[in-house]
Amino acid sequence: MWDIFWLMLWFAYLTAYIYVVVLIISDLFRDTALSGWWKAVWIVFLVFVPFLTALVYLVARGSGIADRAGRGRGVVAEADDYRPRASASPSEDIAQAKALLDAGTISQGEFEALKSKALGNQYFGA
């Protein structure tokens, strides 16, 4: 029974260590201030003295890991484009949609959706 316990414990430690190494390597490649030579030095030390290097890296550069990870997530400025917004000139947008409806280009449902979007309604058909 204790053998299974120790095996599970070592597996948990190994999984956590692999996670930390992947975190460090991804942080190294995300960092634009660090030169390529320093990145290579960190990776070489991670290969030859892995546990000590991981601890030193987390202590020495750990405060900037969250900042560098956060910079990559905020790249897309149009994150809220899925919500309809009020138009700058709703009457023009509705007139264009009505012209498309009269020409037979769009259906009545599509016209209602465009009208709703131009008016800035949160729900279609509201």
Distance CA 78, CA 84 (A): 12
pLDDT of amino acid 105: 87
Neighbours of 117 (CB within 10 A): 19
Going by C-alpha positions, the residue among 110, 88, 89 that lies closest to residue 99 is: 110
Encode the chain (126 residues) as per-residue pLDDT tens digits: 888 999 999 999 999 989 988 888 888 888 888 888 998 999 999 889 988 988 888 888 877 777 777 775 655 555 555 555 556 678 888 888 889 999 888 999 888 888 888 887 645 444
pLDDT of amino acid 30: 84
Distance CA 111, CA 117 (A): 10
pLDDT of amino acid 125: 47
pLDDT of amino acid 2: 84
Using a cut of 0.75, tell me whether the model's pTM lies above it: no
